[in-house]
Amino acid sequence: MQTQKVIDHIVSWLKDYATKANAKGYVIGVSGGVDSGVVSTLCAMTGLDVLLLEMPIRQKEDQVSRAQDHIEDLKKKFPNVQGKTINLTPVFESFEGIVHDHAEGNANNNLALANTRSRFRMLNLYYFGQLHGLLVCGTGNKVEDFGIGFYTKYGDGGVDVSPIADLYKTEVYELAKALNLIESIQNAIPTDGLWDAERTDEDQIGATYPELEKIQKEYGTKAVEEYEGRDKEVFMIFDRMHKAAKHKMVPIPVCDIPEEWREG
């Protein structure tokens, strides 16, 4: 990958989009992971106003420290960058307490609460975005957004722009190295940070990002019968998750009403 050309292209695209939208810049949720680390740095390079929000909800200490260290690093490098920590744990726990009696014993409760964490963060990003005239910048990569749908609908999927959604995870790591992100971000094990117990992306998905990327690049051109061994296992994981998440990747379905029914 021609890393510097990609960096320059994304920075130019971000600056142009915000200017045409009459926005002052971007607000980004910083999690301590490589995706948000790269996106926030690219936004900072536009020279526009950039607000970085760290929004812990019962977050692991290493995730919090990486996010805060990254924010401080960018603030030192870019005068247009500001950062805030908004502790959403009390809000989440209040909601959790309100719905507890209605959800007790439901097998989907933990997943629903995990997605709720993501949606609370989305609300927070849009609040500060509107407050300061900023667009919400997404941090999803190509595998998550268009491969297996590994994101929350109207959570981290609720954004105004997606600057790295055409980059595979391994390519995002290339950008992180070229952008000289802090070592802890470059070496961070991918995790969505939505669970009380430590659950990496690989734990949840059952495959690594390089394994998934291989399948995604071939998806639609090869049948399951053409795979064997580990590749076949990963194909089955990718195929199942892709089909289950298809509703996230297409526009909201609209029930069209025939024009002749509007008459008379």
Q: Which domains does the chain have, with CATH numbers?
A: 3-194 (3.40.50.620)
Measured between alpha carbons, how far is 208 from 190 in angstroms, rounded to an integer? 10
Q: What is the mean pLDDT of residues 12-20?
A: 98
Q: What pTM was estimated for this model as a whole? A: 0.94
How far apart are alpha carbons 192 and 169 in whole angstroms? 14
Percent of the chain, pLDDT > 90? 89
What pLDDT was estimated at residue 62? 87
pLDDT category of residue 264 using cuts at 50, 70 and 90: low
Residue 202 token pair: 């690989």
Average pLDDT over residues 109-133: 97
Of 138 and 192, which is predicted with more confidence? 138
Q: Return the SS3 of 134.
A: strand
Q: What's the whole-number mean pLDDT along residues 19-24?
A: 98
pLDDT, tens digit, 9 for 90 and up, residues 46-99? 999 999 999 999 998 888 999 999 999 999 999 999 999 999 999 999 999 999
What is the per-residue pLDDT across 22-55, written as a single tens digit (0 to 9) for each? 999 999 999 999 999 999 999 999 999 999 999 9
- Is the CB of residue 159 less than 8 Å from the CB of residue 153? no
Integer CA distances (angstroms), 76 to 34, 38, 105, 119, 205, in order = 19, 16, 48, 30, 36
| Whole-number Å distance between alpha carbons of 49 and 112 | 34
Q: Is the pLDDT at 244 greater than 90, yes or no?
A: yes
pLDDT score of 222: 95
What is the CB-side half-sphere exposure of residue 231 using CA atoms within 13 A?
13
Confidence grade of residue 211 (pLDDT, cut at 50, 70, 90)? very high
What gap in Å lies between CA 212 and CA 123, rounded to an integer? 30
pLDDT band at 186 (very low <50, low <70, confident <90, very high): very high
How far apart CA 213 and CA 169 sit, in angstroms, is 8
Residue 106's pLDDT is what? 87
190 vs 198 pLDDT, higher one: 190
Cβ-count burial of 71 within 10 angstroms (0-12 exposed, 13-18 middle, 19+ buried)? buried
Length of the chain: 264
Contact present, 174 and 3 (Cβ < 8 Å): yes
Cβ atoms within 10 Å, residue 13:
14
Chain mean pLDDT for the chain: 95
